[in-house]
């Protein structure tokens, strides 16, 4: 059964569908400008797992508008209206605002190969980002790392990312960082409790000013703790290479 990847024109549905297909999950892209393509089964049969919605900022969508030109309001409204009936059945959303094809490939490639399978255990994504570039549009919970002392202002640490042990140690030894991580772990536990509605992805976005030091260190540590506790967890760094 194919995955239907849908979103407004310019939101990157075609890129995501192509990458899913490359990874072994055949997918169709639909930007709403034409009638909905036929699937083997409807969204209700798939339990919403086989629907993936792409979103992006209006500026990003207009810059990528199909056929190389800016979109007009009428075609935009028509596309959105055609897709409206799928929204309540969709539990996977991917923000492509700051992701080109390579970033989409890295993000989806980090997920377990079975993450879209019906009945698969949820995957927890710990994602770092920069508040300057904007909060992700697809998160479930946002953690603000800006109250933590910033390694950027320590001259010998500034050149290194949050994946470096020196930066990570500086961040994680702070009480505010430990409190944030403990709160994040409790939130994930509540989402994974027995009887909770099945979800393919649980997204925690950790933000700091530049998306390079504090948020990266915290996302890495959160992923490590969750994995150690038995959860299926991966880490994404949206702005580390920006």
Model pLDDT, residue 77: 82
CATH number reported for the structural domain that contains residue 50 in this entry: 3.40.50
Give the 3-state secondary structure of the chain.
Answer: CCEEEECCCCCCHHHHHHHHHHCCCCEEEECCCCCCCCCCCCCCCCCCCCEEEEECCHHHHHHCCHHHCCCCHHHHHHHHHHHHHHHHHCCCEEECCCCCHHHHHHHHHCCCCCCCCCCCCCEEEEEEEEHHHCCCCCCCEEEECCCCCCHHHCCCCCCCCCCCHHHHHHHHCCHHHHHHHHHHHHHHHHHCCCCCCCCCEEEEEEEECCCCCHHHHHHHHHHHHHHHCCCEEEEEECCCCC
Domain that holds residue 78: 3-109
The answer to whether residues 148 and 173 belong to one domain is yes
Q: Of 46, 77, 109, which residue is a domain's last?
A: 109
Model pLDDT, residue 97: 95
- Kindly list the averaged pLDDT for each block of 10 residues, start to end, along the chain of length 242: 89 95 93 83 51 92 74 79 92 93 93 86 96 94 96 97 98 96 93 80 95 98 96 95 79
The domain total for the chain is: 2
Model pLDDT, residue 17: 96
Query: Is 49 domain-assigned?
Result: yes
Model pLDDT, residue 174: 97
Model pLDDT, residue 194: 79
Smallest CA-to-CA distance from 216 within 226, 225, 208 is with: 208
Model pLDDT, residue 196: 72
Q: Of 109, 142, 176, which residue is a domain's last?
A: 109
The answer to whether residues 93 and 31 belong to one domain is yes
The answer to whether residues 145 and 181 belong to one domain is yes
Query: Is 115 domain-assigned?
Result: no
Query: Is 87 domain-assigned?
Result: yes
Query: Is 242 domain-assigned?
Result: no
Q: Report d(CA 223, CA 169) in Å as an integer.
A: 16
Model pLDDT, residue 119: 79
Query: Is 162 domain-assigned?
Result: yes
Structure tokens at 216: 């990266």
The answer to whether residues 149 and 98 belong to one domain is no
Model pLDDT, residue 75: 78
Contact 129, 238 (CB under 8 A): yes
The answer to whether residues 216 and 135 belong to one domain is yes
**Angle CA 53–56–62, to nearest 5:** 120
Q: How many other β-carbons are positioned within 10 Å of the β-carbon of residue 198?
A: 13
Model pLDDT, residue 69: 61
Q: Report d(CA 233, CA 236) in Å as an integer.
A: 10
Beta bridge partners of 28: 4
């Amino acid at each position: 059964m194919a995955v239907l990847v849908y979103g407004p024109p310019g939101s990157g549905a075609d890129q995501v569908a192509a990458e899913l297909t490359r990874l072994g999950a055949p997918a169709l892209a639909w930007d709403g400008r034409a009638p909905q393509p036929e699937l083997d089964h409807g969204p209700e049969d798939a339990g919403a797992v086989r629907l993936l919605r792409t979103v992006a900022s209006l500026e990003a969508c207009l810059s990528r508008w199909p056929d190389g030109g800016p979109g007009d309001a009428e075609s935009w409204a028509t596309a959105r209206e055609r897709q409206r009936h799928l929204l309540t059945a969709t539990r996977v959303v991917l923000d492509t605002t700051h992701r080109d094809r390579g970033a989409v490939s890295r993000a989806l490639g980090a997920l377990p190969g079975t993450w879209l399978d019906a009945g698969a255990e949820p995957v927890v994504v710990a994602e770092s980002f920069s508040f300057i570039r904007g909060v992700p549009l697809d998160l479930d919970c946002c953690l603000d790392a800006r109250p933590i002392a910033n390694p950027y202002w320590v001259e010998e640490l500034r050149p290194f990312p949050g994946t470096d042990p020196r930066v990570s140690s500086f961040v994680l030894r702070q009480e505010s960082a430990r409190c944030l991580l403990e709160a994040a772990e409790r939130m994930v536990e509540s989402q994974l409790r027995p009887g909770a509605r099945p979800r393919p992805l649980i997204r925690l976005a950790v933000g700091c000013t530049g998306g390079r030091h504090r948020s990266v260190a915290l996302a890495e540590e959160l992923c490590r703790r969750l994995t150690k506790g038995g959860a299926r967890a991966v880490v994404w760094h949206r702005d580390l290479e920006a």
